[in-house]
Structure 1
Amino acid sequence: MQSVSEEIKIRPIFNTQGVCVINSVLYTGYECTLFGTNSQNEIVEQLELESEIVKIFPVYDKVLISTITGKVYVYNPAERNNKLQCVFTNSVIKSIDLDGEAIVLGTADGSVILSDVQGYGETFNKKMDGMITLVKFISLSSIKRRYNSKNKLVAVGDAMGTVTLFNTTGEVVYREKNCHSGQIMFIGELGNKILSCGMDALLIEHSLESEMTIRNISENIDETIGACSLVGDRLFMCSKDLVITLSADLKIVAKKRLNIPDINGFDVFGECCVITTDEHDIVLASVVQDTLVVDKVLIGDNDEITDLLVMENMVVVGTNSRYIRTICKSDIERQNENGLIRNKAFSGELVKSNNEECVLSMCGSNKVFYTGSKDGIISKFEVVTGNIRDSVRAVKSVSAEAPITAMCLYQDLLITGTEYGIINGWKIGDTLELVFTASASSSEITGIVVNNKKIHCTSKTKEIIVVNLNGGMDSSISGHKKGMWSISEHCQMLLTGSSDKTARLWKGDINSTLQHNTSVVKTLLTERAITATSDGVLRVWNTTTYKELGAIRITEIKDERIWAIKRYAGTEYIVSAGPSIVIIKDSSWEVEKMKEQMQKEEYIAKQHAIIFMKKGEYVSAAVEYYKLNLERDLKDALKRITGEMDISPLMSVVLLDSYKFVKRVSKWARSPYLFTITQRILQTAIENRIEISAKEADDLSKTLLRTAELFNAAY
């Protein structure tokens, strides 16, 4: 049993472009990895590529993967052999569309390629003026009659705002240059209309026989259009977190804010709408009466987790975002059909307050918690109990006019620390009332706890600053040689972590040093001392003996940092590892008990062996010493065994492990004092047909021969 082990890892799955759903599995790209996530948030597929993924697309039941090096691969989930087929080179794909066996692709260098899905050859390859943002097959019967074409046309939108129609031989049948002032976000057919929509919020109806019709919907949106898609006969347009629904006659029939980061993608897979955001969140939604209803939010990339807070039924996650993310404990702990709960994606709720910048610190208890942001906003949140799961709502906020880097809750007092070394005390009531301000340090406050009814805070200086509950400066405690990153408290003890490569455990005026090999960036004090270092290693220490009980590396790359460690439940801890969340199991208590039990059993067995030796029962003594691996005592017992003694009890033990037996006998064979008993043991082993390799048998034979020569020379 390991003293410290990883139980669950909740990791990022999306920071590229494009997603697809095949057989209820959501495929996403993160760095150089293709992930497949099922409806229970389990990562069921994970495929490493040679280079970074740019965008992925669905090609019926396969996944098309475009990479930054220009190689384009096809992955078939049904084959389950993790083999990739390279179908294009020197092409960064930005958009595709399918029509039977035909596929049209638009690339970053402005190429439009019409090809066969099987990759047997190109029908045409045309170059445009700008990067292709969208390609789409058009099937309007009126257009096909007009151009005497039995095949569909190909509509193309580029980053220059130009819309072009090709027939399937590559001839241009229509072009409207720069009809949009920005890149094309949508092109397709709605009813009997060919429509395009750009970032400029212009919705243009294109006609091949008359002037185009322009509809300006900018007055209905926030700024620009981030995504646009058709769901049945409804057109959905997204601006920031606003979703507008247009009917087939282009009238606005619904508006809804989703309270998520700015939308940059909208894809439809059957009845499932998949929305992606600028912060790489993935929103799974469905359409109910022309309005989007959010079913689930998957957190694609947390960027870097700044703090964690464990509540009764949920975990609150602060990241490099103005939004906090919440995740239900039931989702974290849900097991798969094999009883495992290891590799998961993070689904949760997105909640924001009045802060515009990211959350740096959090604290709370029961159903209320507080966050402090980089722009100095302190926000109060309440947990609302639901029938299925709890949710979170922002209640109120107040400005401290400085980045809030540390927080602590003590009775009816909220204590905050800022980047400028200021400690503020806020009385908790209907509003937060500032009751004291103390200039505790000349540098950033990195941690705050209350111990013995006094505020203890750490900063990037060497001393622990002590402030009374009225805001008066009390004292300072020295010990560290460099600035401190963290402080935690438990049962009137303190644990601090510092850049001087030590953690210190403070018990009154006495402190004990826990030595590390690099800076200690985070600490947690429970019945154990938990420390995390800048190289991504988490360690567990005994708070009485100050001995390290176990260690585990939880970060995958050098730049990832551990900024949060909290007790999850019992001897489980939840830890941030860059953008990932890891549940760590501390089994050191069980390991220590096992060691104590083993030591007790070994002591009893040794006492039995001593008694056997005194009684002259040397075979029984040898059995106990063999089990205890006490070589010296074992040899003493073996050399006292005489020919008339029955060695079968010893043989029944030594023959259980042939590898250990050969290793031990090889040592005994070198001793003239054990020559006779060794021969006897070997003879019995051979009679029992023990498996010994030819080389081992040859080595044993030579060793016995040399020992016999020494024996004969001596006697």
Structure 2
Amino acid sequence: MPSDTPEQQKLLIKTSFKTVKTIESIYTGGKVDMSEDQQWMVSTLNENIIITETATGQQLHELEGDTEIITTLAIKPNGDHIVSASRSLTLRVWDRVTGQCVRTMSKAHEAPIIVMAMDPTSTLVATGGADGTVKVWDIDKGYCTHHLRGHAGVISAVKFLQYRKKWYLASGADDCVVRVWDLQTRKSVAVLKSHTSVIRGLDFSSDGKTLISGSRDRVVNVWEWQQQKLKATYPIFETLEVVGFVNQQADFSQYDMTPKSDVFFTGGDKGSIRLWDVSTGKMIKEQPHELNSKHTISDVLYSPHAQQLIAITNDQNILYYSIADQLKRVKQVVGYNDEVVSVMYLGADDTHLAAATNSEQLRIYDIETQDCDLVYGHKDMILCLDRNKQGDVLVTGSKDKTARIWKIDFTQQDTDRRYVCLGVCIGHTESVGAVAIARKSNQFMITGGQDRTIKYWNLRDLNFSVTSSAEPLPHAKALYTHQAHDKDINTISVAPNDRVFATGSQDKLAKVWNVDTGELLGTCKGHKRGVWCVRFSTAEQVLATSSGDKTVKIWSLKDFSCLKTFEGHSNSVLSVDFLTAGLQLVSSGSDGLVKVWTIKTNECVSTLDNHTEKVWTLAVRKDEKFIASGGADSVINFWQDVTLEEQESDLREKEEFILKEQELQTYMKKKDYLNAILLAMSLNQPFRLLGLFREVMETRAEDDQSSISGSPAVDTILAEMPSEHLEKLLTYIRDWNTNAKYANVAQTILHAILSSHPPDQLVGLAQAKEVFDSLLPYTDRHYQRLDDLITQSYIIDYTLHQ
């Protein structure tokens, strides 16, 4: 290895990192609800419930369930409490602020609760069960107020209505019947039959006179429920999962068609939200189509406060659509990331993070707010990412056998302009598992994958100044294709000078190639398992590789020999990169760990542990202040370099220690025993304290026979010592007492403590039993002349054992 340059010698070796931010899953399917002001979101994560602050994406609480799947939940309109139901048939009420369960109602139904609705006053909750019954509960008092029977199947929808100062409840079931209940008389006042499949959505108009019902029979029925009259049936041409009214104050000024009456929305297996005129049944607007999207909608939340419709999709995403802006998608929350296989910083200042997560959607997070943009384009899972030096061009490789080139502009408000697909690379016959773009320009990129070939793509003809995606997309041209390896290509990296590139494969080899000609320049042989990652140093003529053989190796680019091997991971090393101008490495592996290495010493100087499964990917921010890691546990961790802060903190502590040492010597010279004792204890210096007590005993005044320690001032200090200092002092005495040379001092100070503190106070000390159990045998053996001390000790010992 070349010797360190003066510039490198000045660099601070990184030794300390801490996790400062985490992007985790919040939703794995099931029910989602929001507070009326849209500040809090509640979602199901396996058997638990997650409360999230929507503005920041911060998880406020994880409510631990009862190990059974959560079947449904709802948040009070006032946001104070959350009600949840699980397959254990238990109904629970949670305090939203503290995250504590404040009430549990066991066996709420005879079968699991399927649906739930809150009344607008936050007083009542209606539950519909698989037992065919509907119940109404007083949330705060915790008892059932109504038990409504009449359906012949699983309850699938419930909705409250306050009409003419009376309360009603509508319910639907898989018996295809809608019932309306008068909650004052507890009787069914309307039985509405027309649907031929399970009822999935119910809602009342703002005047309370009209009820709409949506079913999986692909139609919406409009009812005058008081007369039990079917007013209209509208074919929707999709299997419906939700219907609901939009209030009359909604802004439809930008729409081509002005609604003539109330407007309702629908969502279902088509995967799009649509708005309809209730009087005509005509569609007013359908949300813009997402390219290559395959999701369906399982639920839609309506926020009158923000005038938004929030779609819950079957691929665990939460999509916000603005009603005033013609159902344009304005925000998205990723509920579940699956395995995070690749991450990459983006933006001029690395303000965003792109993530590939076993999904065809590219996910780009605003790191500060954790807002996530979903970028559609690929038809199958995205497997790999790379970016140019400026962070405004991203390339992606996918299981759909293509690679795409994206222009990124975070100054654009419109998502379609923020992420523009400039072109697509078509030619591989299998999945594209590795991509790399030029470091110094945007003129070329290299791809490789399961077909074992590498392709050089000319990007010079692409228009990097366009502001929207073209239809059809331009195709990049492959200038050469070579059979590069005997097995799948896992990784590609382009050198900082754009002259050579390296590939790594499952065939255990890393190879270095000429960019212009595709000529093989050298092969790095030595790994015993497949090579997962290759990276060029920005400072030296070396290449780093990580492998399934649990090692990281550094290779010379002059003769392709192995210069160093780093061993420390207990499983495959999946990713590696250079740090600190080539002086260090960072690696991640299947053991769930991220490790930082100093190359010169081969030493692992830091091990970062906040993943529970394999860590697939690493991304180093340009200033190296942060490292992002993503893994199979669906978690993205952000690690901050705190080496300088810790060194400064250590330096301050050393300076403070020296000053306190000087103070201690001054106090002892002045015989200021109170401050000397307290300072010695704060410095955690039992030996200095022992010397102080010995000095006090040895300098006892001839006419002083009354003090136990040798100084009335010290006796007073020991008598007035608070419990936390007393407990620490007793542990010191215990240790001193084990040495016959110090036993005399230890027993004298112990005698002073026992003589001035009541047994009840000593027994109340947190570690009293442990300390006195160890002290009493030494007390008997070393210092039996102190009869009072022994007597008091046994009193305490007796008290402790009762």
TM-score relative to the length of structure 1? 0.77
Q: Name the residue aligned to 1:487.
A: 534
Secondary structure, counterpart of 2:639 in structure 1: strand
Describe how 1:565-644 pairs up with structure 2 within 5 A.
565-568=618-621, 569-577=623-631, 578-588=633-643
User: Could you tell me which of 525, 531, 546 is aligned with 2:578?
Assistant: 525
- Give the distance between the partners of 1:564 and 1:373, measured in 2 at CA: 16
Q: Are 1:283 and 2:319 matched, yes or no?
A: yes
Structure 1 residue 195: deviation in Å? Answer: 2.7
User: Could you tell me which of 276, 299, 319 is aligned with 2:334?
Assistant: 299
Q: What one-letter code is carried by the residue in structure 1 that aligns with 2:478?
A: L
1:682/1:540 Cα in 2 relative to 1: closer, same or farther (>3 Å)?
Answer: farther
Secondary structure, counterpart of 2:287 in structure 1: strand
Describe how 1:187-226 pairs up with structure 2 within 5 A.
187-190=202-205, 192-206=209-223, 213-218=232-237, 224-226=239-241
Q: What one-letter code is carried by the residue in structure 1 that aligns with 2:381?
A: C
Structure 1 residue 379: deviation in Å? Answer: 1.1
Describe how 1:538-557 pairs up with structure 2 within 5 A.
538-556=594-612
Contact 1:306/1:318, CA 8 A, preserved across alignment:
yes
Contact 1:328/1:389, CA 8 A, preserved across alignment:
no
User: Could you tell me which of 420, 431, 434 is aligned with 1:403?
Assistant: 431
Contact 1:243/1:258, CA 8 A, preserved across alignment:
no
User: Could you tell me which of 499, 507, 515 is aligned with 1:461?
Assistant: 507
- Give the distance between the partners of 2:750 and 2:116, measured in 1 at CA: 72
Q: Name the residue aligned to 1:376.
A: 401
1:489/1:684 Cα in 2 relative to 1: closer, same or farther (>3 Å)?
Answer: same
Q: Name the residue aligned to 2:133.
A: 112
1:173-223 CA distance string (max 9 Å, x none): 53536x34x5433233446443323345323334666677432243xxxx5
Q: Name the residue aligned to 2:383.
A: 360
1:6/1:196 Cα in 2 relative to 1: closer, same or farther (>3 Å)?
Answer: same
Secondary structure, counterpart of 2:458 in structure 1: strand
Describe how 1:3-42 pairs up with structure 2 within 5 A.
3-22=16-35, 24-40=39-55, 41-42=57-58
1:539/1:125 Cα in 2 relative to 1: closer, same or farther (>3 Å)?
Answer: farther
- Give the distance between the partners of 1:31 and 1:268, measured in 2 at CA: 24
Q: Name the residue aligned to 1:75.
A: 94
Contact 1:10/1:580, CA 8 A, preserved across alignment:
yes
Describe how 1:310-349 pairs up with structure 2 within 5 A.
310-312=345-347, 313-331=351-369, 346-349=370-373
1:320-344 CA distance string (max 9 Å, x none): 221111122332xxxxxxxxxxxxx
Structure 1 unaligned residues grouped into runs of 5+ = 145-149, 332-345, 604-622, 707-715
Q: Name the residue aligned to 1:413.
A: 444
Structure 1 residue 301: deviation in Å? Answer: 0.9
Contact 2:161/2:167, CA 8 A, preserved across alignment:
no
Q: What one-letter code is carried by the residue in structure 2 that aligns with 1:503?
A: V
Q: Name the residue aligned to 1:386.
A: 411
Describe how 1:606-685 pairs up with structure 2 within 5 A.
none
Q: Name the residue aligned to 1:154.
A: 170
Q: What one-letter code is carried by the residue in structure 1 that aligns with 2:297?
A: I
Q: What one-letter code is carried by the residue in structure 1 that aligns with 2:287?
A: K
- Give the distance between the partners of 2:82 and 2:43, measured in 1 at CA: 10
1:15-40 CA distance string (max 9 Å, x none): 23222223631111111221222243
Q: Name the residue aligned to 1:614.
A: none
Structure 1 residue 563: deviation in Å? Answer: 1.7
Structure 1 residue 271: deviation in Å? Answer: 2.2
Structure 1 residue 436: deviation in Å? Answer: 1.5
Q: Name the residue aligned to 2:524.
A: 477
- Give the distance between the partners of 1:72 and 1:82, measured in 2 at CA: 11
Q: Report the count of equivalent residues.
A: 647
User: Could you tell me which of 128, 144, 154 is aligned with 2:152?
Assistant: 128
* Structure with more strand by fraction: 1
1:261-312 CA distance string (max 9 Å, x none): 43321122442433211221112344317x3354432111112222111012
Q: Name the residue aligned to 2:254.
A: none
Contact 1:102/1:114, CA 8 A, preserved across alignment:
no
Structure 1 residue 454: deviation in Å? Answer: 2.9
Secondary structure, counterpart of 2:30 in structure 1: coil
Contact 2:90/2:104, CA 8 A, preserved across alignment:
no
Secondary structure, counterpart of 2:368 in structure 1: helix
Q: Name the residue aligned to 2:105.
A: 86
1:49-71 CA distance string (max 9 Å, x none): 12332322234443221223333
Contact 1:407/1:415, CA 8 A, preserved across alignment:
yes
Contact 1:504/1:514, CA 8 A, preserved across alignment:
no
Q: Name the residue aligned to 1:163.
A: 177
- Most deviating of 575-584 and 392-401: 392-401
Contact 2:201/2:241, CA 8 A, preserved across alignment:
no
- Give the distance between the partners of 1:175 and 1:602, measured in 2 at CA: 82
1:485/1:430 Cα in 2 relative to 1: closer, same or farther (>3 Å)?
Answer: same
Q: What RMSD, in angstroms, separates the aligned Cα atoms of the two structures? A: 4.6
User: Could you tell me which of 264, 289, 296 is aligned with 1:235?
Assistant: 264
Secondary structure, counterpart of 1:462 in structure 2: coil
Q: What one-letter code is carried by the residue in structure 2 that aligns with 1:372?
A: G
Contact 1:64/1:75, CA 8 A, preserved across alignment:
yes
- Give the distance between the partners of 2:775 and 2:756, measured in 1 at CA: 11
User: Could you tell me which of 299, 308, 317 is aligned with 2:343?
Assistant: 308
Share of identical aligned residues, percent? 17
Structure 1 residue 407: deviation in Å? Answer: 1.1
Contact 2:83/2:93, CA 8 A, preserved across alignment:
yes
Secondary structure, counterpart of 1:423 in structure 2: strand
Q: Name the residue aligned to 1:437.
A: 481
- Most deviating of 184-193 and 462-471: 184-193
Structure 1 residue 151: deviation in Å? Answer: 6.3
Q: Name the residue aligned to 1:252.
A: 283
- Give the distance between the partners of 2:407 and 2:650, measured in 1 at CA: 45
Structure 2 unaligned residues grouped into runs of 5+ = 1-13, 248-261, 463-475, 659-678, 700-710, 715-720, 763-767, 785-802
User: Could you tell me which of 65, 84, 89 is aligned with 1:49?
Assistant: 65
Contact 2:26/2:336, CA 8 A, preserved across alignment:
yes
Contact 1:195/1:205, CA 8 A, preserved across alignment:
yes
Secondary structure, counterpart of 1:45 in structure 2: strand
1:209-240 CA distance string (max 9 Å, x none): 6677432243xxxx544543221132012354
Contact 2:49/2:62, CA 8 A, preserved across alignment:
yes
Secondary structure, counterpart of 1:415 in structure 2: strand
User: Could you tell me which of 496, 517, 520 is aligned with 2:545?
Assistant: 496
- Give the distance between the partners of 1:80 and 1:211, measured in 2 at CA: 45
